[in-house]
A and B are shown apart, each in its own frame.
Chain A
C-alpha cells in the first residue's frame, strides 16, 4: 500500500494564479481531510469529506475549494492564490470516527509570491 500520497511536493505560484493539489489514498477510507500548517499555529483544518461526493468546511476554508468525485481522491483548489496561502498543506484520511486514527500524506510546500 502506498498509503496517502500528495501531488505535487513543491510548488511556487505567483499571486492570482490557480492550482490544484491532489490527494490520493489506497486504504478505502471514507473520511479525508485537508490541513494547512504554519509556524506556531499547528494544523488548521481547511475542508474535509465524509464520503464520496460530500465536502464540508473546516476552520479556515476561505480561498479554497475542494472536490471528492472519487472515494480515493480529494482535490484542493486555489482559484486565485494569495501570499497568505503560503504554507505546507497536508492531506489525511481515516476509515471511520470509531477509534480510527488519521493517516497523513507527506505534504505539499506551497509558496505564493
Chain B
C-alpha cells in the first residue's frame, strides 16, 4: 500500500524567502513521486517527478525536490519565492505496478509582499 503525508496545510513566506513544502511517503515498492501545482480555479499541472533516476529533481518555475529514501521524504524547495508562486501544491506517490496515483491533502502556499 502507498500513502503520502504533506506536513502543513498552509505555509506563508515572504517574497524572496526560501520555500520549503514537506512531503513524506510510504511505499512497499520503489515509488514514483510527483509534485503538482494548482492555481485558483484551474486544474493541476505537473511541477516535477521522480522516477528512480537522479535523486535531485528540477522542475518548472525554479522548483526542485530531493528524494531521500532513508527519510522517506520528497520535500519541495525554491530558493526565492515570487508572488506568482501563491497556489496549492500537492505531493503524490505511484509505482510501476499501481494503476492509481495517491495524492496528499495539499499545502496552500501564500506569499507576503
Contact = CB atoms under 8 A, between A and B. Distances in A.
Interface of A: 4, 31, 33, 40-43, 45, 48, 50, 56, 58, 90, 92, 94, 97-99, 101-107
Nearest to A98: B96
A42 B43 contact: no
Contact of B100 (A42, A48, A101, A104): A48
Given A58-B100, A99-B51, A104-B45, 15 more contacts: A31-B99, A33-B100, A42-B103, A42-B105, A45-B100, A48-B100, A97-B32, A97-B94, A99-B32, A101-B34, A101-B49, A102-B46, A103-B46, A104-B44, A107-B42
B32 to A, nearest CB: 6
Contacts of A90: 43-44
